[in-house]
Amino acid sequence: MNFSDLGLKPEILRAVEDAGYTIPTPIQTQAIPIVLKGSDVVGIAQTGTGKTAGFTLPMIQLLSQGRARARMPRSLILEPTRELATQVAQNFETYGKHERLSYALLIGGTSFDEQIRKLDRGVDVLIATPGRMLDLFERGKVLLADVRILVIDEADRMLDMGFIPDIERIVSLIPPQRQTLLFSATMPPEIRRLATAFLTDPEEIAGARGGPPSAPPPQPQESTDAPPALLSAMFSPHPTPKIRPA
């Protein structure tokens, strides 16, 4: 099975090739066609299985048509930590480089002003930690009425970190006519309950069986108050040509 067998468009295949990946991991082989056809997904997959590209690649394709309105992102990815959120943003940088998608990161340790400016211009993909997401919502800086794709990543870690009430609140703000993807390394009863409540007719896939991809996962970074270099680049007043000028 190659990436070209999964239904991805040439611009995305080119970006995957540029990144040096030739063979999709088992979770990617399963997830990409299901996400592309618009179905909900429950993915049982740990970090290191390639699951991030399993949802970012098809999302880039689905979002490549259409434009975001001010303060109304078209998709939302919830991550338990800012390190994971930053890695997801890096995936969009890498795989979306031939597309004109815009995105923003809402995570602690970065300035509110920059995040708000970015949202004001309209973003296709919003990547957020739950607390920061709700904080900006309460301030009236972001509306979730246009979200058509919702990703809840690392759901069991969200549970361990006490984020489930925040997740429930956020999901209640998103219209039910949406595609929802939920990924979790394990499926405790509480996560199973959320999957039943938030997803419609999901297809269930598991990524661990095929083993990790050939490249080792990056080491976790330390949390610091300094924004990672990527963030500075993403929020710079003169974004790189990869990022669509709003």
The contacts of residue 27 (CB under 8 Å, 6+ apart) are 43, 45, 49, 50, 51, 54, 205, 206, 207, 210
End-to-end Cα spacing for the chain = 38
Q: Where are the beta strands (DSSP E) in the chain?
A: 41-44, 75-78, 103-106, 125-128, 149-152, 179-184, 203-206
Using the rule CB under 6 A, which residue among 26, 50, 130, 227 binds ligand AMP?
50
Stretch that binds ligand AMP, among 5-13, 111-119, 135-143, 207-215 (CB under 6 A): 207-215
CB of 178 to ligand AMP, least distance (A): 22
Stretch that binds ligand AMP, among 46-54, 96-104, 133-141, 238-246 (CB under 6 A): 46-54
Residue 217 in contact with ligand AMP, rule: CB under 6 A: yes
Token pair recorded at residue 43: 């993915």
Residue 49 in contact with ligand AMP, rule: CB under 6 A: yes
Sheet holding 179-184, edge to edge: 103-106, 125-128, 75-78, 149-152, 179-184, 41-44, 203-206
Q: How far apart are CA 68 and CA 70, in angstroms?
A: 7
Which residue is at the shortest CB distance from ligand AMP?
52
Residue 80 in contact with ligand AMP, rule: CB under 6 A: no
CB of 163 to ligand AMP, least distance (A): 19
CB of 235 to ligand AMP, least distance (A): 23
Stretch that binds ligand AMP, among 50-58, 133-141, 145-153, 170-178 (CB under 6 A): 50-58
Residue 21 in contact with ligand AMP, rule: CB under 6 A: yes
Residues that bind ligand AMP (rule: CB under 6 A) add up to a total of 17
Between residues 213 and 228, which has the closer beta carbon with respect to ligand AMP? Answer: 213
What's the number of CA atoms in the CB half-sphere (13 Å) around residue 195?
24
Q: How far apart are CA 167 and CA 159, in angstroms?
A: 10
Residue 52 in contact with ligand AMP, rule: CB under 6 A: yes
Between residues 41 and 134, which has the closer beta carbon with respect to ligand AMP? Answer: 41
CB of 24 to ligand AMP, least distance (A): 5
Q: How far apart are CA 100 and CA 91, in angstroms?
A: 14
Q: How far apart are CA 106 and CA 155, in angstroms?
A: 18
Residue 58 in contact with ligand AMP, rule: CB under 6 A: no
Percent composition of the chain: helix, strand, coil (DSSP 3-state, to 5): 40, 15, 45
Interface residues with ligand AMP (CB under 6 A)? Answer: 21, 23-25, 28, 47-53, 213-215, 217-218
